[in-house]
Amino acid sequence: MSLKISKSDKKFMDLAISLAEDRVGLTGSNPSVGCVIVNKSQIISVGQTGIGGTPHAETVAIKSAKKEDLRGSSMYVTLEPCNHYGRTPPCTKQIIKNKIGKVFFGVKDVDIRTSGKTTKILNNFNIKVKKNLQIKKILNLYKSYFFLKKQEYPFITGKIACTKDYYIKTNRKYISNPHSLNFSHLLRYKNQGILVSSKTVNSDNPQLNCRLNGLLKYSPTRFVLDKNLDISLKSKIVKNSKKIKTYIFYNKSNSKIKKLKKMGIKLIYINLIQNNNLDLIHVLKKIKKLNVYYLLVEGGIELTNYFMLKKLFNEFFLLKSGNNINNKKRFTKFKFKNRILNTFSNKETINTYLGKDKIIKYF
């Protein structure tokens, strides 16, 4: 039951992709899916995966449409509709029940419970199916989902801010302008966890939350690498750890451990490896087991450099200010621009209203 692809089909799938992109990082272990339902060339409903992973996009779109409009309609969905019982009933059951006539999906799911089975199931009910629509865009959309299905640790995004002349420490509180700072908070919203070192906590005293209007409740779980428990008990993240989940990975106990636990910090012991460092891969596996699938690393120069050397970043954002600094002797130079270029094959400048600042994404 082969279907021919028209310009309109691509347009509707592009809309479904946009819906899915909006929720990437917010759907837990489930993929972010976008769905558009069309009847007589008119969009009758849309859906996207719910925050946390449910409900599924297809279910949202079906429930948003009138039952009489669904009969004989066409569904455009970014991922192969599920056909198994999990946290929700199969989407194929809803598609069949509502007599949808055609299903266009972007790519086969890698989940073995569904993978490659949907077409046959729908064809048995005379529903026409076409897969691999807008495949290049779809593969880019599901880069993180496919990674998470294969790896035992999260999809990792790196971020660092520097001046125009590549210094990361200045005599100002913030290197970036307010627009770039808002982008940093957007990254925190889009990631379930954020990782820093105790050195960053003690030198910058950050809050590590999302301070965009209305999004504070989506602040990421905070993780701190602190081998010797050097973290200051007066730091902001310790003081408000009962409001936002906060974990410290450590190796050496001291008198702070009882105080930290009493203040709401969760402590996880980690073995040391070569060079007397915490076993970072073990840390990352622990983070994923805590149901954090998207992790933002906002460390300083040392932690960023270590992740870069180990090729652990899946993508990296360089927030570059439009200003130089004057007294360069006092500040830290960002020296691994070439390493970024050698690590990632692609880069793009984010087109936003940032004044003189630039945001460069490497992937």
Q: Which residues are catalytic?
A: 58
Crossing angle (nearest 10°) for helices 7-21 and 57-64 = 110
List CB contacts of 170: < 8 A, sequence separation 6 or more: 163, 325, 331
Tokens of 278: 């915490």
Phi, psi of 337 (to 5 degrees): -60, -45
Q: How far apart are the C-alpha atoms of 129 and 83, rounded to whole Å?
A: 14
List CB contacts of 92: < 8 A, sequence separation 6 or more: 81, 82, 83, 118, 121, 122
Report the amino acid identity of residue 304.
T
DSSP 272-313: B-GGG-B-HHHHHHHHHHTT--EEEE---HHHHHHHHHTT--
CB atoms within 10 A of CB 279: 16
Half-sphere exposure of 256 (CA within 13 A, CB side): 20
List CB contacts of 321: < 8 A, sequence separation 6 or more: 161, 162, 163, 164, 175, 176, 177, 180, 356, 357
Q: Where are the beta strands (DSSP E) in the chain?
A: 34-39, 42-48, 74-79, 102-107, 128-130, 155-162, 193-197, 221-225, 246-250, 266-269, 294-297, 315-320, 347-349, 358-362
